Structure 1
Amino acid sequence: MVPDRMNVQVSPGCEDDLVALTEIYNHYVRETAITFDVAPLTPSERRPWLLSHAKDGPHRLMVARIPGSTGRVVGYATSSPFRPKAAYATSVETSIYLAPDAGGRGIGSLLYGRLFELLVAEDVHRAYAGIALPNDASVRIHERFGFRQVGLYEEVGRKFGEYHDVAWFEKRLG
């Protein structure tokens, strides 16, 4: 059982978290259209992604853990480069993933809260999030954190034999 947010610690992710982070992500790959990856990834395939997030700077990986002997990872939030061209350097794309049994306990809000606290000190002007629809929980948390929908790509991805829209959300920072 996952405790509520009062009993969860948030800190930067590290290589020791890679297997747990991959397991959480692969749940969404296998079971949902929330990510458009269609085949589960191995930890070695996810390693470059993990290493692209520093402990400081605009591109971060924050991990929620249950403290104590298990240190179980129950979710993560990231800020990643929005696009590879230099002019986009002050924009980030954010995402958040929770273990399947961790939703509805405030852990997502704890993760995003910490991530955005850290981004305030960075040269980040905008945060963006692409949300595959339908995903009411993701829309709610992004709106709670000040994101607003700025666009919609209709039927942009096909997974499980169905086309899915992606709504784009923007948050002003700085």
Structure 2
Amino acid sequence: MPTERTELQVRTGVEGDLEALTDIYNHYVRETPITFDTAVFTPEERRRWLLSHPEDGPYRLKVAVAGDSNEILGYATSSPYRAKPAYATSVETTVYVAPHAGRRGIGTLLYGALFDALSGEDLHRAYAGIAQPNAASTRLHERFGFRYVGTYREVGRKFGRYWDVAWYEKEL
């Protein structure tokens, strides 16, 4: 496990990262209500998702890598908010950090790099849905200027119960 002093680098995600990114995401599928996916994925099943985040454009994938070991410690994405054309200047953003790497500022580092990369794009708003409760994610989003706009009550069912999702938006 990396130490607190491990130098972190943020770069664009590439196909060689697919297995590690899938492992991180599957942890949240299996163990938390943070994602509403309920079945784990194989790397091959996640390939299309990875390829939908090219190096440039409004839909990005940034990964945090431990400089000494090249271990992927987390990732952040911007993805289409909705499929209809009028939503083209809006994105939904997410951050996932490896379970052993939390509380080290990795989410902050990733979001900083993601929003820097998006600054030159023709985008108007970013949205984030946060399954409740999730105080750490709420703090992260508020730190980046997201503001609360409303809650979808009991919108998802996972682990035998219903979960609320609080929605946040940020001007880009």
Q: Does 1:46 align with 2:46?
A: yes
Contact 1:128 1:169 survives alignment (8 Å)? yes
User: How far apart are the structure 2 equivalents of 1:47 and 1:94?
Assistant: 19
Q: Map of 1:131-146 to 2, 5 A cutoff?
A: 131-146=130-145
Superposed CA RMSD in Å reads 1.1
Which amino acid is the alignment partner of residue 163 of structure 2? H
Unpaired stretches in structure 1, ≥5 consecutive residues: none
Distance 1:5 1:61, change over 3 A: farther
Contact 2:132 2:164 survives alignment (8 Å)? yes
User: How far apart are the structure 2 equivalents of 1:168 and 1:40?
Assistant: 25
User: How far apart are the structure 2 equivalents of 1:98 and 1:53?
Assistant: 18
Tell me, what secondary structure is at the counterpart of 1:110?
A: helix
> 1:169 aligns to what?
168
User: How far apart are the structure 1 equivalents of 2:162 and 2:87?
Assistant: 29
Which amino acid is the alignment partner of residue 146 of structure 1? G
> 2:26 aligns to what?
26
Which amino acid is the alignment partner of residue 101 of structure 2? A
Q: Could you tell me the TM-score, scaled by structure 1's length?
A: 0.96
Tell me, what secondary structure is at the counterpart of 1:131?
A: strand
Q: 1:3 Cα deviation (Å)?
A: 3.7
Which amino acid is the alignment partner of residue 31 of structure 1? E
Which amino acid is the alignment partner of residue 17 of structure 2? D
Tell me, what secondary structure is at the counterpart of 2:101?
A: coil
Tell me, what secondary structure is at the counterpart of 2:126?
A: strand
> 1:117 aligns to what?
116
Q: 1:151 Cα deviation (Å)?
A: 1.3
- 1:60-112 CA-partner distances (Å, limit 9, x unpaired): 000000113x3110000000011111111110000000000111111110000
> 1:94 aligns to what?
93
- After TM superposition, the runs of 4+ consecutive aligned structure 1 residues lying more than 6 A away are none
User: How far apart are the structure 2 equivalents of 1:56 and 1:4?
Assistant: 31
Aligned residues: 172
Tell me, what secondary structure is at the counterpart of 1:101?
A: helix
User: How far apart are the structure 1 equivalents of 2:28 and 2:133?
Assistant: 14
Distance 1:161 1:57, change over 3 A: same
> 1:64 aligns to what?
64
Distance 1:48 1:152, change over 3 A: same
User: How far apart are the structure 2 equivalents of 1:5 and 1:113?
Assistant: 19
Q: 1:42 Cα deviation (Å)?
A: 0.6
Which amino acid is the alignment partner of residue 36 of structure 2? F
Which amino acid is the alignment partner of residue 118 of structure 1? A
Distance 1:85 1:4, change over 3 A: farther
Unpaired stretches in structure 2, ≥5 consecutive residues: none
Contact 1:129 1:168 survives alignment (8 Å)? yes
Q: 1:2 Cα deviation (Å)?
A: 2.9
